[in-house]
């Protein structure tokens, strides 16, 4: 995530936290309201962006959707009233008021951000319906800080704050361990690209993209795997099949910048041994961090208008 427009970030954060719907028993498993963009299937009749072919060619020099399983996997930690709380400061004062200011932020003992340059950590208080999202988190013992952050509602839209470049919740679109184990991903996916435009479209609220190429993809754009592709005929590994089906049914939103042409966010298996992706992902056929899932014809992606 790069420098954001402070006024937009603060205004969006206030709206996102205030947007709530009645709690359910499985909000952590199925976060956000029923009307959230993350939870909407793609209609049968859609319009494709006129520049779709060029945009997809730009991010598919060879067919790949890189799976962020390890270094940039998302640590998602459930917390409750018994979890220790901390005063967490934001070190990027030029971004505006720290979203964690005044909050007792629950962080379990032993919690760690991911090892990538984004230093991501997500803690979720299901009973309160609150998501604390860290960007470049660090700690010295029990003293925590983060470059910037967001506080979002587990029952809101899944968009708001400055924990990601587009204003998406850091929990939004993340492929969960349980979803891979079940073989079913019932939501749109969180995508990143090195060819993101500095412009954006709804549901994104801003952009950290910097590509000025004519074939760049705006943040907030929704990508879909062509539903005409017969996935059952491709002999896909179980994890590839689950991701490909989700990309046909729900698609994915470009919501941040990455070093790869195109990548997708997964929950970090915090029990995985160093350098490994963990048993659940291995059982589903994922071989390593950044697995390209190359058996899926990702060159058949399209950008929706």
DSSP readout, 182-218?
A: HT---S-EEEEETTEEEEE-TT---------STT-EE
Q: What confidence tier does 28 reach under pLDDT thresholds 50, 70, 90?
A: confident
Distance of CA 135 to the CA centre of its chain: 13
111-123 residue pLDDT tens:
999 999 999 999 9
Task: Spell out a b/e string for 143-161, using b for 16 or more CB atoms within 10 Å of the CB, else e.
Answer: ebbbbbbbbbbbbbbbbbb
H helix intervals, 76-168: none
Q: CA–CA separation, 159 vs 156, rounded Å?
A: 8
Claim: this prediction has a pTM higher than 0.85: yes
What number of CA atoms fall less than 13 Å from residue 115's CA on the CB side? Answer: 10
- The CB density around residue 235, as the number of other CB atoms within 10 Å, is 9
User: For position 30, what pLDDT does the model report?
Assistant: 87
DSSP 8-state secondary structure symbol assigned to residue 273 = P
- Average pLDDT, rounded, for the chain: 91
pLDDT 10s digits, 80-135? 999 999 999 999 999 999 999 999 999 999 999 999 999 999 999 999 999 999 99
């Amino acid at each position: 995530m790069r420098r954001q427009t402070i006024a937009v970030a603060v205004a969006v954060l206030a709206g996102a936290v205030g947007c709530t719907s009645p709690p359910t028993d499985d909000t952590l498993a199925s976060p956000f309201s029923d009307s959230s963009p993350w939870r909407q299937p793609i209609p049968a009749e859609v319009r494709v962006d006129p520049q779709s072919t060029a945009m997809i060619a730009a991010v598919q020099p060879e067919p790949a959707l890189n799976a962020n399983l390890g270094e940039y996997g998302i640590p998602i930690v459930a917390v409750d009233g018994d979890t220790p709380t901390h005063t967490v400061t934001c070190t990027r004062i030029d971004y505006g008021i720290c979203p964690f200011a005044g909050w007792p932020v629950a962080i379990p003992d032993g919690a760690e951000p991911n090892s990538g340059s984004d230093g991501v950590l997500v803690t979720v208080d299901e009973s309160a319906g609150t998501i604390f999202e860290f960007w470049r988190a660090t700690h010295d013992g029990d003293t925590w800080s983060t470059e910037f952050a967001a506080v979002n509602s587990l029952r809101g839209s899944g968009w708001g704050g400055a924990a990601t470049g587009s204003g998406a919740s850091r929990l939004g679109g993340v492929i969960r361990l349980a979803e891979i184990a079940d073989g079913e991903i019932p939501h749109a996916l969180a995508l990143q690209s090195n060819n993101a435009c500095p412009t954006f479209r709804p549901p994104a609220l801003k952009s950290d993209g910097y590509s000025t190429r004519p074939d760049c993809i705006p943040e907030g754009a929704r990508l879909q795997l062509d539903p005409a592709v017969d996935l059952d005929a491709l002999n896909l590994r179980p994890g590839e099949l689950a991701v490909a089906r989700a990309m046909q049914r729900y698609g994915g939103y470009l919501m941040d910048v990455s070093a790869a042409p195109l990548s997708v966010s997964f929950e970090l298996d915090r029990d995985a041994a160093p350098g490994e992706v963990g048993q659940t992902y291995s059982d589903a056929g994922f071989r390593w961090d950044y697995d390209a899932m190359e058996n899926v014809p990702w060159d058949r992606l399209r950008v929706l208008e």
